[in-house]
Amino acid sequence: MVAELIEELKAQGLGIFLIEHDIHNVMKLCDRASVMKNGELVGTVNVNEVTDDDILGMIILGKKPAHLAA
């Protein structure tokens, strides 16, 4: 039900901050994802430009994917 509500609000143009640990929900529901590690912002990426593995790499390695690092 929560995912449906998020999608409905998104369709209405409302911005939503979603704190989520399930990578599949992030990829399904979000336009952008910000990753933090040890209290520091690793980076923010557009989910349509990355894979699940890219985001997992950000979580584990603490750096943005090479194709987005700049």
Q: Integer distance in angstroms from the first to the last C-alpha of the chain?
A: 38
Tokens representing residue 69 in the block: 């690092």
Task: State residue 68's pLDDT score.
Answer: 81
Q: Are 69 and 63 in contact (CB under 8 A)?
A: yes
Task: State residue 65's pLDDT score.
Answer: 86
List CB contacts of 15: < 8 A, sequence separation 6 or more: none
The reply to whether the predicted model has a pTM over 0.85 is no
The ranges of the chain with pLDDT < 70 are 70
Q: Are 58 and 35 in contact (CB under 8 A)?
A: yes
Any idea where the domains of the chain sit in the sequence? 17-70
